[in-house]
Every structure is written in structure tokens, then in C-alpha cells.
Amino acid sequence: MPPKLLLLDLDDVLVDYSQERRCRALAETAGVDTAMIERAVFASGLEKRSDRGEFGLDDYMNLLRSEWGLDILGEDFVKARREATRVRPEMLKLCEALKNQVHLGIFTNNGHWLHQHAERIAPELTPLFGTRWVCSGSIGLCKPDPMAFTACLERLGFSAASALFVDDKVVNTEGAKTIGLPSFVYESTPQCIEQLRQRGFNTGDFHAP
């Protein structure tokens, strides 16, 4: 019997995410080079702290301003994330084929602000996933911490045994399994389709390109 919840990672599963494109967009906005953005946002640890829920978008922008002299509006920060995020058409089509068989959810290591602006960042996903998005920043815990999966499932209202988790990182699927959450590693859309068929899903005659 198929699970009741199919919980999917966002970046590099449902969407192609490019840190390079994001840095380029932010550099253009701030009038600096991409290396500066890379240092300020990523190498500094600010992005990881955002992922852990230590601060929201406004405080994030204030820290970039006070610690790095970067004057970036929250709106432009969200826009850069959108430019770096491209929904995979074949995964969108697969989710369309599954939407009447299972509840679809997203669990991603990202700041709470991404969920708040999900309709702008990945508008194609909203009709399928609705409010069933959980960002690590919203619960203050990141994958692969087993407690993160427990908190995510509690928020969505499902038990571990009734769900299936898909992520492109082995360490995250292993973390999920420690709480009894069945999981598999995403390698490609055709491989994902086969894994889902083996677990009782009807994907019809859908084939990824």
C-alpha cells in the first residue's frame, strides 16, 4: 500500500538550484563582485544560520548591511533566489500524476523566509503542495538531524510509517530512516519513477525525457 505522504526535498530534486546564479543576481543588485556575495552570504555562515532559523529575512538583510556593508532589500534577496530556482518540468509532471494518490509535501533546508515567499520563488509548485512546505528555519532544526524529521512530520500531521521521503543526499535519507521514515535517494527522474512504482504508486505511462 502506498504511503499517505510523499515528502520531497526541494533543491536538486523538485528544482534546479544554482548558487552561482543567485550570487550573480545579488552582486548586480549590491554593485559588488560575486566573490564578495559568496563570502558574505555563504562563507560567513549567515546562510546556514538562516537555515537553522536563527533570524528572519529582515534581520538577515540587517546583518549583511552591518557586517558586510551590503545594502540589499529583502525583495531583491527573494528575487535573486527566484532567479536561482528553476522547477524541473519532468518532476512537476510526475507530481501532477501523483496528486490524487498521495499528499505531497516539501521538506527543505532553507530559511523560513523561503516558505513565506514560496509563491514568488517557485510558483509552479504552489497548486500541488499548497501549505505543505516545511523549511528547516521554520522548525529550528536541519536535516539530517532525526529530530528535524520528527518536527516536520508533526507539523504536517503524518506519522513516519505513513510517509515516504525523497532527497538527493544520502546523509539526509539516512537521518530520516533513524526515525522509521522510509526513504530513498533521488538520482534522476526516471529512477525516482521506478522507485515510486515499486512502492505501489501508479505513474501510468508517464516517462521522463
Going from N- to C-terminal start, the domains of the chain cover 5-16+87-198, 19-83
**Sequence-distant (≥ 6) Cβ neighbours of residue 202 within 8 angstroms:** 101
Q: How confident is residue 207, by pLDDT bands cut at 50, 70 and 90? A: low
Peptide bond into 144 cis (omega under 30): yes
- Strand, helix or coil for residue 58: helix
**pLDDT for the residue 209:** 53
| Residues 72, 90: Cα–Cα separation, whole Å | 34
For residues 139 and 148, the answer to whether their CB atoms sit within 8 Å is yes
**pLDDT for the residue 155:** 97
Query: What is the mean predicted confidence (pLDDT) over 163-182?
Result: 98
Considering the chain, what is the average pLDDT of its residues?
96
Q: Return the CATH number of the domain spanning residue range 19-83.
A: 1.10.150
Q: Per CATH, the architecture of 5-16+87-198 is what?
A: 3-Layer(aba) Sandwich (3.40)
| DSSP notation for 101-115 | TSEEEEEESS-HHHH
32 vs 1, more confident: 32
Look at the pTM and tell me if it is higher than 0.85: yes
SS (H, E, C) 78-102: HHHHHHCEEECHHHHHHHHHHCCCC
**Residue 199 clears pLDDT 70, i.e. is over it:** yes
